[in-house]
Chain A
């Protein structure tokens, strides 16, 4: 099988990650993992905030001051966006686990739905955050 003349011809290379544009469902799949890892690391900020509140007013001022700083706000924005993406895509995974929505067109439309819902929920969260 390996020594036939056909095998010595130039074979097409399988698409490699660096040159292959990921289809939307693959992109949302890897984003689910990346946001999950980011959210796990982000729990450190939540723990800091709660422990600081328990320690006392000075520690709380330091923690809430960091969260309200430009770096803190950027982290919080990233955390909110990651949370809502992981939230909606997680619900999509639960629907898939119920053997629903598994066809290719449905996978594309639910990808768009998840991205839209995540953007919408992030905007709503920050509008509420500044309005309250």
Chain B
């Protein structure tokens, strides 16, 4: 990068900036932007949970029938399960060495994260719409 005259990279390759993974820094950057968003949502969600400590079932239902708690909770769930799934992928990539075992662990975790997100978001929406 610093000494481009000694580099084997072509000028076109440098200009595209996609590197050997062919995807550039998009995933790397997206994960960090998502993490920063999750940090904000975490504060909002913890505040919401603190306000519900010791609440009756009725109070919880009434809370999740208001727009703000529903939107914060579903956003928090979405960012959390996405962050968790990709975080676990990094852990599996580092510690599981069999190709098939690695693929299976990553696929199962991502599938499970998606199911858990849909389950919990559906639960919140079910309360919100009073079904």
Residues of A within 8 A of B (CB): 33, 36-37, 39-40, 43-44, 46-47, 50-51, 53-54, 56-57, 60-61, 83, 87, 90-91, 93-94, 97, 125, 128-129, 132
B39 engages A90 (CB within 8 Å): yes
Residues of B within 8 A of A (CB): 32, 35-36, 39, 42, 46, 50-51, 53-54, 57-58, 60-61, 64, 73, 77, 80-81, 84, 87-88, 91, 116, 119-120, 122-124, 126-127
A94 engages B35 (CB within 8 Å): yes
B46 engages A125 (CB within 8 Å): yes
Given known contacts A54-B124, A125-B46, A90 and B91 CB-to-CB distance under 8 angstroms? no
A36 engages B91 (CB within 8 Å): yes
Give the complex CA separation of A51 and B64 in angstroms. Answer: 12
Of A33, A46, A61, which one neighbours B57 at CB under 8 angstroms? A61
B119 engages A47 (CB within 8 Å): yes
